[in-house]
Amino acid sequence: MRSFVLPRHQLIPVSHPCFKKCKQYPSRYYYFYHNPIHSATKRDSSTSRASSKLPPVKWLDLRGSGLCMLERLSLEEALLRHTQDNWIVIGAHDVWPPKFLRPKLPGSSSDNDPTDGLILPEYIVSGKHDDDDDDDDNDNKKNKSRKLNTDCMIVMGIGGKPDRLLNIDNVVQDNVLVVKRFSGGGTVVMDHNSVWTTLIGRTNDFPSVEPYPRSIMEWSADAVFGSAFDKLTSMTSTTRATQTKRKHGMDPAPGSVKTLIMDTKSCSPTENVGKVLSFPNRNKNPNKDELLVQDIPKFSLRENDYVLGGQFKMGGNAQSIVKGGWLHHTSFLWDYDETNMESYLKLPDKRPEYRDSRSHRDFLVPLSRYFGKSYTPFVRSIREACEESFGGLQDAHLPTVLNNVIDKDLGGMEAWFSKSRTRIVRNLQF
């Protein structure tokens, strides 16, 4: 089965049996060619995605790369603006330390220093808040001295207003770094349990994806994440079913206790009429949560959010659209500290209708609650979904990317960071 996008002047009658109108874009019409041998077969969405003539996409896995969050954001923008390739970038990152960037202390750079974007905020270096009295004595300043909080980082959209979105006093008190990324979207608290996924596409290579946020999100939910979560749910259910069988002695497990049961009065093993039964080793103390079989909520796109069960958000989305291309990145909350969300983030004035006035605790859900502690199967499911949806995946490697894009074309990570739109927020009052 093949699909073709026809321009307006080549439309075929609506009554044609192979004609289908696109619900998302009324100006686009799809003509499906059916092989007569399979004409009675129900059309499968994954088959149609795999059969479409999409270009190869480069797969860049940054797990274990050592890039900090600032460097990850800088790399994403460089791939969007300074390459013509299509990319899928995935990984998890720490707040600190950076691998290539060298942040500076306030007052350590001269005027017009191209690296002044790396200057850390005053409240992190000295503990002095913008509202603090300038007449504090040296002893008080010394007592306020502290170190950067490396447990989490707050990432805002490029147009975010700290005073409207953040509980600034708590942010300063806990010494949390605040960053504005180069894309739009809302505000998230990121830590090492956040799984970053980035999709970069070129409009000529993806003509069916309109370069607008809603269109990109719908495409990503259908072509990538919908299929990925279906695969992840299937893998998780199968794993837990196997674990449950082992728990009840229905399936041999590594470390289980075995015994030989004879079906006759004779205990001679030479009669070959016995059977082996396996029982769980009670000394292993398995994790009960991992063995619990439960229904896993369905993934969906609701308004502008990826949700589970139609109600609970588990990732933040943002887009950046440039001439000839677009970027869509998501921070999936594999796990997180509820206290950080409640402490640092205000309830935004502009929020989705389905959220109502629910707190962060009642609105968000960690993916680990349903899919386990490790996000490795999630990465694998995303890759499998992409292999089905695109024309092929080409593995890319960070050293090569850094050499060809960052070093040769942009003068290194620090030089590029000074030109990029990702910025450390030094004044939280604006």
pLDDT for 300 equals 96
Percentage, residues of the chain above pLDDT 90: 58
Q: What is the mean pLDDT of residues 24-49?
A: 38
Question: How far lies 243's CA from each of 254, 284, 287, 427, in Å?
Answer: 11, 13, 10, 52
Q: Are 11 and 57 in contact (CB under 8 A)?
A: no
Q: What is the mean pLDDT of residues 134-160?
A: 71
Percentage, residues of the chain above pLDDT 70: 67
| Architecture of the domain delimited by 57-237+295-424 | 2-Layer Sandwich (3.30)
Q: What is the mean pLDDT of residues 312-325?
A: 96
Dig out the tokens for 272 from the structure. Answer: 């070959």
Confidence of residue 429 (pLDDT cuts 50, 70, 90): confident
Q: Work out whether the CA dihedral 219, 222, 223, 224 comes out positive or negative.
A: positive
Q: Is the pLDDT assigned to residue 9 strictly greater than 50?
A: no
Q: For the chain, what are the domain ranges?
A: 2-42, 57-237+295-424
> pLDDT of 108-136, one tens digit each?
655 455 556 688 898 887 655 555 554 44
Q: Is the pLDDT assigned to residue 139 strictly greater than 70?
A: no
> pLDDT of 81-102, one tens digit each?
999 999 999 999 999 999 999 9
The answer to which of 64-73, 129-138, 173-182, 281-290 has the lowest mean pLDDT is: 281-290
pLDDT for 277 equals 45
Which residues neighbour 340 within 8 Å (Cβ) at sequence distance 6 or greater?
A: 151, 152, 189, 191
Confidence of residue 106 (pLDDT cuts 50, 70, 90): confident
User: Model-level pTM?
Assistant: 0.75
> pLDDT of 368-411, one tens digit each?
999 999 999 999 999 999 999 997 899 999 999 999 999 999 99
